[in-house]
A = this chain, B = another copy of it.
Amino acid sequence: MHITVINPNTTRAMTDMIGSCARGVAGPGTRISAVNPTMGPASIESHYDEALSVPGLLHEIAEGERAGSDGYVIACFGDPGLDAARELAGGPVVGIAEAAMHAATLVGRSFSVVTSLSRTVGRAQDLVRHYGFADRCVGVYACDIPVLALDDPSTGAAQVIIDLCRQTVERDKADSIVLGCAGMADLCSYISAEVGVPVIDGVSAATKLVESLVTLGYSTSRRDEFARPLPKAYVGGLSAFELVD
């Protein structure tokens, strides 16, 4: 099985870390390709960044289709372009926010999200509601460390996140924590050991969900909404995205 894990920002080091996390949980017969677009923002920290990450993301889906990929992970916590990616991909597509929240509801009643910048809290709340977990999510907190600084030891990100986790477990009675940024994936086991409740990384959770869906033979329904987009004219700087029958 071949799963493509797409980091929608253009920072290769983060893509490598994400790929490594995915490979750490993939089954023996699963090959992981970790890729990122060559166009768009270096990190995703606003609705603007997120919207502009989607063309590059969709290009990577199209590349994955040509390469015969069986399924896809979208490795940014805003789950950018998920619905569009599902129209385009033959196999299943799962976002890391979606995957982490689903996993959280299987290991406890309540969860909190700890994300990067406070300006992304709203998007996380949107997704919580969209996926149906408004009754289960008891808090969304931001560590206020930029995405690309999370693995810079000088920011002390792990400790800041651990402190937020402990606070929300104590104050909000969270049964588990969802890490709200792909850039936190490699901190997950360290944080988990300190916090004492499940700390869930969406990159690895999504990888297992996609792998499971492929094994089960389930992919996106083609009934109507998620059928392949209709071919039509695309012009200007995005004309390469024109689909043909």
- Residues of chain A touching chain B, judged by Cβ–Cβ distance below 8 Å, are 10, 25, 27-29, 37-43, 45-52, 54-56, 58, 81, 83-84, 86-88, 92, 94, 98, 102-103, 105-110, 118-123, 125-126, 129-136, 146, 169, 173-176, 189, 196-198, 200, 204-205, 208-209, 211-213, 215-227, 229-230, 232-239, 241, 243
Contact = CB atoms under 8 A, between A and B. Distances in A.
Contacts of A29: 28
Contact of A175 (B88, B120, B225, B234): B225
Nearest to A226: B108
Number of copies: 6
A27 B1 CA distance: 12
A208 B219 contact: no
Contacts of A175: 221, 223-226
A225 B106 contact: no
A221 B176 contact: yes
A106 B132 contact: no
Contact of A220 (B108, B208, B224): B108
B215 A208 contact: yes
A222 B176 CA distance: 10
B87 A46 contact: yes
Nearest to A215: B25
